[in-house]
């Protein structure tokens, strides 16, 4: 059978199953368990309505439980065990200690910190700048869609594009990497293999993520800027504030909540950063990050214990930021 046809059938079938589930479960609730008749009709209706939300939530809770909650517990368990001959044995925090003593892990931790500081700050700042500059300009919408477009490219795709940007050809050949072309054009002596220059190569990798996330920040912040009451801006202008002061002292403080949400959202993405590093350097030349370290341990070295420990560290770092982010986002919505 044609795969496309198969896909269509699956979609139709899946929707039918969902409809069937919701319809029949509600029927059972209303007709069999708490029928809306007889002496306790009123009480039954109230009870049925209390149970009903759970009927709708159940499939989502089930899937989340199996694919999210259970793996977390299992990863935690694996991180406290090590593989022996026939199975696993409990080793306490040995995996964590071993990991901590590995230079590559510390390098990953430090690099992650660096990413954490640079990428959200740069993305938010560029996004805010783009949002402000494209506001109320005729061709602003075109500029915005151009800046937003990288959001539609997968991290791996973006990594491939940027690898070409950083590409180096021997001296004398045409440089297809634009960075080397510019570098030589400005009088550089020899083409550089940018991604192998320790420390700075981290920033070349970060540029990719900043390129992607700026569009996201811009769209959200642009909407927030539009939400600022025009009169407060006019009042500030009459009060004698120049464009910069209007921006930094009137506009930015009024959208601070949104800026924080954008910042923390990007922070979470940064903590999980994997694809870009994997596709561009694979953690060589001192560019290792936590997620790629975890992947190395888990699927290359087949050391499930240490790999799981790495995963737990990432989760522990992400959780507080995520909680804070959700808290702020809710506050913004109110």
Partner 1 sequence: MATIDFDNVQKSYGEVHAIRDFTLHVEDGDFCVFVGPSGCGKSTALKMLAGLEATSAGSISIGGRDVTELGPGKRDIAMVFQNYALYPHMSVRSNIGFGLKMRGQDKADINRRVEAAAETLELTSYLDRRPRALSGGQRQRVALGRAIVREPSAFLMDEPLSNLDAKLRVQTRSEIVNLQKRLGVTTIYVTHDQVEALTMASKIVVMRGGVIQQIGSPDTLFAEPANIFVAGFIGSPGMNFFRGPVEIENGRAQTRFGEQVVPLSVSPDRLPRGEAIFGIRPEHLKIGGETGGTPVSLGLVESLGTEKILHFPTPEGQAIHSLQKVIGSDDAARDSTTMLARVIDDRRYSDGEHVRVALPEGKVHVFDPETQKALS
Q: Using CB under 8 A, list all residues that contact partner 1.
A: 229, 231-232, 234-242, 245, 250, 253-254, 256
The DSSP annotation for 280-321 comes to HTTTTTTT--HHHHHHIIIIIS--HHHHHHHHHHHHHHHHHH
Between the alpha carbon of residue 297 and those of residues 223, 261, 310, the distances in Å are 42, 33, 8
Closer residue to partner 1 (CB): 25 or 254: 254
Closer residue to partner 1 (CB): 100 or 248: 248
Cα separation of 260 and 251, whole Å?
A: 14
Q: How far is the CB of 135 from partner 1 (least distance, A)?
A: 17
Closer residue to partner 1 (CB): 20 or 253: 253
Closer residue to partner 1 (CB): 245 or 272: 245
Scored b (16 or more CB within 10 A) or e, 290-304 reads bbbbbbbbbeeeebb
Closer residue to partner 1 (CB): 98 or 254: 254
Q: How far is the CB of 239 from partner 1 (least distance, A)?
A: 4
Decide if 239 contacts 120 (C-beta within 8 A): no
Q: How far is the CB of 229 from partner 1 (least distance, A)?
A: 7
Q: How far is the CB of 235 from partner 1 (least distance, A)?
A: 4
Cα separation of 105 and 94, whole Å?
A: 15
Q: In Å, how far from its chain's centre is CA 174?
A: 37
């Amino acid at each position: 059978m044609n795969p496309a046809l198969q896909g269509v059938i699956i979609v139709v079938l899946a929707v039918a199953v969902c409809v069937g589930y919701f319809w029949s479960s509600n029927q059972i609730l209303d007709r069999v368990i708490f029928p809306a008749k007889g002496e306790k009709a009123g009480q039954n209706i109230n009870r049925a309505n209390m149970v009903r939300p759970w009927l709708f939530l159940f499939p989502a809770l089930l899937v989340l439980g199996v694919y999210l909650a259970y793996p977390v517990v299992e990863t935690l368990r694996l991180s406290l065990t090590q593989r022996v001959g026939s199975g696993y044995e409990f080793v306490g925090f040995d995996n964590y200690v071993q990991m901590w003593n590995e230079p590559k892990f510390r390098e990953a931790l430090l690099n992650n910190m660096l990413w954490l500081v640079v990428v959200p700050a740069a993305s938010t700042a560029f996004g805010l700048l783009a949002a402000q500059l494209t506001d109320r300009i005729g061709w602003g919408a075109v500029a915005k869609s151009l800046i937003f477009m990288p959001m539609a490219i997968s991290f791996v795709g973006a990594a491939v594009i940027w690898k070409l940007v950083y590409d180096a050809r021997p001296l004398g050949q045409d440089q297809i990497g634009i960075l080397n072309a510019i570098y030589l054009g400005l009088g550089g002596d020899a083409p550089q293999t940018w991604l192998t220059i320790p420390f700075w190569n981290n920033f070349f990798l970060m540029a990719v993520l900043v390129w992607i996330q700026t569009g996201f920040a811009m769209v959200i912040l642009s909407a927030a800027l539009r939400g600022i009451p025009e009169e407060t801006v006019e009042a500030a202008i009459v009060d004698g504030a120049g464009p910069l002061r209007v921006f930094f002292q009137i506009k930015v403080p009024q959208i601070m909540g949104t800026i924080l949400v954008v910042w923390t959202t990007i922070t979470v993405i940064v903590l999980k950063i994997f694809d870009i590093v994997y596709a561009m350097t694979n953690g060589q030349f001192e560019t290792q990050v936590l997620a790629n370290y975890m992947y190395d341990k888990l699927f290359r070295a087949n050391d499930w214990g240490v790999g799981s420990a790495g995963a737990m560290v990432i989760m522990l770092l992400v959780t507080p930021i995520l909680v804070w982010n959700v808290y702020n986002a809710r506050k913004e919505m109110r």
